[in-house]
Amino acid sequence: MFEQLEALLKEASAALAAVSDGEALRAWELAWIGKKGRVTEAVRGVSALPKEERAAYGKRANEIKVALESAYAEAETQVRERELTASLAQGEIDITLPGRPLTQGGLHPSTQTLRDFYRIWATMGFQVYHSRDVEDDDTNFTLLNIPPHHPAREMQDTFYTTKPNVILRTHTSPGQIRAMRQLGENGTRPIRVILPGMCYRFEQITARSEVQFHQMEGICVGRNIHMTDLKGTVAEFARMMFGANAKVRFRSSYFPFTEPSMEIDVECFLCGGEGCRICKYSGWLEIAGSGMIHPTVLENGGYDPNEWSGFAFGMGPERITMLKHAISDIRYFWANDLRFLSQF
């Protein structure tokens, strides 16, 4: 029996020395020192021996098992090191190759246009005033000379909230009231501000309209402010925004919070004034609504309309961005398509 143990040790050691990979090593473990391995079975065979031989046989059998387990652990370490070395050699990285370029983010095209607005209007003395997106009905409509049941309310399909008289602003014009009351100091100081922000209207989504869009309001309040000041200011903005040769036209219009009112058009850059789908084949694209601030609105803002006057205008960054970059569909701005956004 002792001779069989020694032969078993010699055979197992020889088989372990021939192992070259992890799969063969696991097979060796199962065959020799696993639960049903030959060495394990030999250890269990001690019960079949006479009592006087059991102690010596059991001791030697356990010594052989421990020795083989130790040899297995050492062989396992060596096999793993060889496999790792082979893997690294096979997948060696050529550090002389150029690395993958890092993708750089960028500003949204609407944000770029808004920043152009800030820069241009800052040169004319206008400061940025941020107003709230969630407004009350009075500030959004009534204080702007649009009382309840006024037909002008039908022009803007409004998002109402579950709280009475609380809505998502339909335009940036309610910021006029807040700016006049806060910065005008009870109608005692002139102000020049622009009010950029997001607006929300429950409208059909088309190539020219969205349910949410940016708008930028601007107001100038002082003494002896006239329509000529408004026209000259807006014309200068157009030249700085679209180039010195930009053609501008003014059309009479109606807004409840201005009197008189007019709309401002720039010649369509997409078709060169010949007419296309975006400009509705007119050759012109509206960039702003404007007018002299209505006396009622001035009074609601804290100013005495007998002493103070002012003008207001409102324009859409998305529409102007469409003009500058020949974009034919306003829906691209909110689709988050990287093929579109990466161009800017």
pLDDT in tens, 45-92: 777 777 777 788 778 778 888 888 888 888 888 888 888 888 777 766
Write down the domain spans for the chain. 2-90, 109-341
Extract the tokens encoding 283. 């050759």
CB-based contacts of 169, cutoff 8 Å, min separation 6? 131, 132, 133, 134, 135, 140, 197, 199, 200
Model confidence at 330, pLDDT cuts 50, 70, 90, reads confident
Q: What is the pLDDT of residue 39?
A: 78
Residue whose C-alpha is closest to residue 264's, from 240, 224, 237, 244: 237
Cα dihedral sign, 60-65-68-69: negative
Q: Find the range with the poorest average confidence among 17-26, 47-56, 57-66, 208-217.
A: 47-56
pTM: 0.66
Extract the tokens encoding 286. 């509206």
The CATH code of domain 109-341 reads 3.30.930.10
Q: What is the mean pLDDT of residues 260-289?
A: 82
CB atoms within 10 A of CB 283: 16
The letter for the amino acid at 138 is: D
1: pLDDT strictly greater than 70: no
CB-based contacts of 65, cutoff 8 Å, min separation 6? 33, 39, 40, 43
Q: Determine contact, residues 176/257, Cβ cutoff 8 Å.
A: yes
